[in-house]
Every structure is written in structure tokens, then in C-alpha cells.
Structure 1
Amino acid sequence: MEKNKEFYISPNLENDDLTETINCTNEAGENIEIPVVKEIPLTIYLNKQEIVTAMTLGDMPDILAVGYLLNQNMLQRDDIISEIDYDEDLQVVIIRTKRTTNYEKKMEKKIRTSGCAVGTVYGDIMDDFSSVNLNKDAKIKTSWIYTISKKVNTRPSLYLKAGALHGCVLCKNDSPIVYVEDVGRHNAVDKIAGWMFLNKENANDKIFYTTGRLTSEMVIKTVQMGIPILISRSGFTESGVRLAKESGLTLIGRAKGKRMIIANGIERVVFDTDVQSVKSEDVVSAQRALIK
């Protein structure tokens, strides 16, 4: 990866297969055409076993599948992936590993999460949670938070084009390097995890930014990836904050305009910005400018 390269991967805005134009009526009774995102069922196999069918945006099926299996503790960090097969017609992706796998018993206990588009985790997802040691020396400057927020929220995206999506961004210092979107925030998180695994990306010095609320699922997956800092424009749930405290994750929410709330891990935060000098964020104006 090139040093300080921004948006190493991001949604392909030219991919017409991700959206569909529909006819509808606006508030003035006028007939209009608007783009809406598609929901595509993607079935994930691990070797010979069918694991799940997930409703997804339909892009990046390989990294989504890898990330999903990682975050469900079905793919181990030291596993060697021998092959990834994707059948676009059948919407099936098969991850093949050198290690023999069988998760029939594991799949008997599922937990439906608060993730939109119906997230699912398995009963033993917490088994390795307490054993993860996040980098205590990682730092984040408040100036980086303002810069990341501006770069992410004023760039062209499928969300601005069609809405109904969550975005997740992997950053180093104040530079976004991976930007993904999906109909469910858990899918977007899994894409980040899959990309990091396939590219052998170090997590210790990374920052994870998301547009969605900071739930227990978001915290668990961020910790599993080994990322020490999680930021969102949205707020927290009680369980999200509690798990952040248990794991030592720096959790920063409501990061919008001049504001931010640090719920945990303040020892990693460097206050290097005069808040009064920060311009208020006019998100609506920025979005309109990009859409035109």
C-alpha cells in the first residue's frame, strides 16, 4: 500500500448493478425517478459447509465473505486461504482453507443482533474477546478526528447517490485508506476485516470510523480485528460502552462538527485543537454540492 494513500478501495460509483432507478412521487405530487440501492442475497460457504445467506449491497463479495468468517471465529487469523471462488450468477462465494473445518455444532446457537438488515452472531463469539490485547500506545489527535470526519462526509458516495447505506472507514492517522458501504453496518465492518486479512494489514496503528451507532456488535468486531480506536458520528448503546471498557477500546461517538463524546479510552486521545477554531459542519450543504 502506498504511504498516506487515501481510499485505497471504495465503492464503485460507476457500477450500475448496485442501484436501480424507480419511479415515484415527491411531496409536490410530481412524478420523479430516483436511484435506490439493491439488496442481493450472498451465500457464503467455508470449504464444503454452507454458513449463511446475507443480504448485501452486492459488491466486494470476496472480502465480505472472508471478513464475516473471521468475525464469527470460523476463520482463524493463522488460516491459509487456498482459494476464493465467486459465482456471480448464483451469488455464492466459497472460501477454501488448508485447514479442515466443521462448524455444525457452533451454528446451532445463533444470536440475532441489533444490526440493521438483521445481523447474526454465534454463541461463542465472546470466547476470544477478553484475550485480545489492544495497542495501549496508540494515539489519536482531536485534529485527526475533525479531518477524518470532513474527508469522509464530503466525498462522493453511494449513500449520497441513493441513501439507505452505512459506511465504514479504515484510517491511519488522519488519512482514510479503505472506505466501504453496505445495507447493513455489520456487512461493512466485515468488508474492512476481510480486506485487512487478505492484505495482511497491521491493526495496531489503525482507527476505525463508522457512520452507524456504536452497539455491542460494533465494539466486539472492532476488538476482534485488533483496532484500538473506534469513532462514529452516531451515539452509543450501554452494552457498547460496557464492552469498550472491558476490552480497553477507545470509543468516541457523536463526532459531528465541533462535538465529540469520548466514552472510554481517553488516555489515547491527544487534545491538540482549539475547539473554537473548528468550523461548524454543514453536512446538508456538502451533500447537495456533491450531488449536483
Structure 2
Amino acid sequence: MHRKSCPEEYPITLVVNGYEVAVFQLTNQDLEDWAYGYLFSEGLIQHREDIQSLQIEPDFGAIRVVLSNGIDTEKMLSKKKHYTAGCGRGVTFFSMTDVKTFNKVQSNQTYKLSHLLKMRAEFAKNSPLYLETGGMHGACMVNEAGEMTIREDIGRHNAVDKVIGHAVRQGLNPKSLVLLTTGRVSYEMLSKAAKFGFSIIGSRTAATKQAVQLAKFLNIELVGYLRGKMAIVYTSKGKVIDDVTEQTGTQPNLRVLP
């Protein structure tokens, strides 16, 4: 029997403009993407140019960032912290009420269910840390051409921050991108995706009631249990087309909740 290695996590302190944000449990990979993604998700930056310098200090377990956008860092970081649910402890400064003020997603992009299922399967095959340890979360960003960007981490929200950070650094347009994740979609996970502007979010597992409510309000298509030849669409935005039933004649492949 092949014995997998254990997943690793490291305490890493994020320091912005000299202020300590928090200590995060992270997988020591793609940390620059994570920092960009987290800072974008929390509203501390809007563009890659808002970061003047970013220094990763592995010996001290720290990431030090200097911003160039003139934001009042002390005021922003004095807001009430909300600790994220699940593995890889994280923190967000956005409450559910705050998230409701985000811009609604305007994209009318549609995707076939067969395409999403295919991408989810490819995502699973191309997640090396999970395949090695069996204990990692992953996030995957898919463009219209089917090209995937995959990031992994001990925490599901950290993995999402990493793909968002990659997108911010590359200046990508979110309207044609799909976000896939291995983890449960909770309100703070939905808030990250909404802040960037993903119009479709797919997970291999469930979404919370709060995440579904926010997705409906922000015009995001939220799909759960994306696996095999089935899925549950929580939001009824018409952005996922069930072509699998048409091809196989078997039902139900796509379950749409009211």
C-alpha cells in the first residue's frame, strides 16, 4: 500500500505598511499569489500596481507588504475581524452585510454542464499536493478556452485567494472565468469570488445557506456536488446548461433548487 506524505502548514504573519494583519496557517507554496489575492479580497488593493513592494521572509515566517495606493491601513485593519470556518485558519474584515454592498456580477456567460464536469475531473487529476497527501484543498480558475490555473493549500479559502491573486497579477477579466473549488462554499468564500467578479462558482461539495442567499443577491451561479455526471445548481441564474441529460437520456443530472 502506498503511504502518502502528510500535508504541511506553516504559521505566516502578514504585515501591511508596518501593521500586523494576522497570523495565517498556509501551505508554503505560491505565497505571492496568496498575498495579492488576500489583499484584493479584503479591499486593501484594487490592482497589482497598488503594491509597491512585497517581501517573503521564510526564516521569519512573514510576508511584508508596502502599499502605494494611500489607503488608511490602520483604519481598515481596525474593523472587526471575522474568523473563517474550516481548515487553515483565516480572517476576513467583511461581514455578510458588507458583502451585500458589492457590485452585482453583470456577466451573462453560460457554460455547458458537460464542460464543467470535464474541467472538474481535469482539476482533480492535476492537483499534485492532494494526490501526494490526500489532505489538501484546491482552487481552479478556468477560462473560455478551457485553460486551467490551479492552486493548492491546507485551507480552502487560502487556495481561492491564490487563484484570485494570480488573476490580479495577470490583469485577467473575471467575466469569462469560472471558479472551481474542492471545499465547501461558505459566505466568506462566496465574498472572495464576488469581490473579484466570478459569475460561476462550482464546488465538489456543498454550499451554505448564507452563501446561496448572497449568490442569488449578487447574480452569481453557484453549483454544488459537481462530480461524475451530476450537479446541484443552487441559484437558478440560467448560466449552466444541462447538455448531459440530452446526451445520455438519464435524469436527474442537473438538480435546480428553488
1:75 aligns to 2:60 (yes or no): no
1:140 aligns to 2:111 (yes or no): yes
1:46 aligns to 2:31 (yes or no): no
Find the counterpart in structure 1 of residue 92 from structure 2: 121
Find the counterpart in structure 1 of residue 255 from structure 2: none
Q: Normalising to structure 1: TM-score of the pair?
A: 0.78
- Cα distance between partner residues in 1 of 2:4 and 2:98: 45
- Cα deviation 1:109-168 (Å, max 9, x = unaligned): 111221322232114675364341313321111121121122112335211111221110
- Cα distance between partner residues in 2 of 1:64 and 1:56: 9
CA RMSD, 1 decimal:
2.4
- The unaligned stretches of length 5 or more in structure 1 are 1-25, 27-31, 280-292
Residue in structure 1 matching 2:77, options 107, 113, 116: 107
1:71 touches 1:224 (CA, 8 Å); kept in 2? Answer: yes
1:158 aligns to 2:129 (yes or no): yes
- Cα distance between partner residues in 1 of 2:166 and 2:154: 18
1:194 aligns to 2:162 (yes or no): no
* Residues 33, 170 of structure 1: alpha-carbon distance in 2 compared, 3 angstrom cutoff: closer
Q: Normalising to structure 2: TM-score of the pair?
A: 0.87
* Residues 260, 125 of structure 1: alpha-carbon distance in 2 compared, 3 angstrom cutoff: closer
Find the counterpart in structure 2 of residue 235 from structure 1: 206
2:110 touches 2:241 (CA, 8 Å); kept in 1? Answer: yes
- Cα distance between partner residues in 2 of 1:77 and 1:126: 24
Query: Identity percentage over the alignment?
Result: 26
- The unaligned stretches of length 5 or more in structure 2 are 251-258
Q: Give the structure with higher Rg (CA).
A: 1
- Cα distance between partner residues in 2 of 1:157 and 1:132: 35
Residue in structure 1 matching 2:238, options 267, 273, 290: 267
- Cα distance between partner residues in 1 of 2:52 and 2:14: 16
1:137 touches 1:268 (CA, 8 Å); kept in 2? Answer: yes
Find the counterpart in structure 2 of residue 23 from structure 1: none
2:11 touches 2:24 (CA, 8 Å); kept in 1? Answer: yes
* Residues 77, 155 of structure 1: alpha-carbon distance in 2 compared, 3 angstrom cutoff: closer
Which secondary structure state, in structure 2, belongs to the residue aligned with residue 130 of structure 1? Answer: coil
1:144 touches 1:174 (CA, 8 Å); kept in 2? Answer: no
1:49 touches 1:102 (CA, 8 Å); kept in 2? Answer: no
Find the counterpart in structure 2 of residue 64 from structure 1: 34
Find the counterpart in structure 2 of residue 283 from structure 1: none
- Cα distance between partner residues in 2 of 1:44 and 1:192: 18
- Cα distance between partner residues in 1 of 2:57 and 2:48: 26
2:86 touches 2:155 (CA, 8 Å); kept in 1? Answer: yes
Letter in 2 for 1:263: Y
* Residues 120, 273 of structure 1: alpha-carbon distance in 2 compared, 3 angstrom cutoff: same
2:109 touches 2:199 (CA, 8 Å); kept in 1? Answer: yes
Q: For this pair of structures, how many residues does the alignment match?
A: 249
Q: Please identify, of 111-120 and 52-61, the stretch whose mean Cα deviation from structure 2 is larger.
A: 111-120
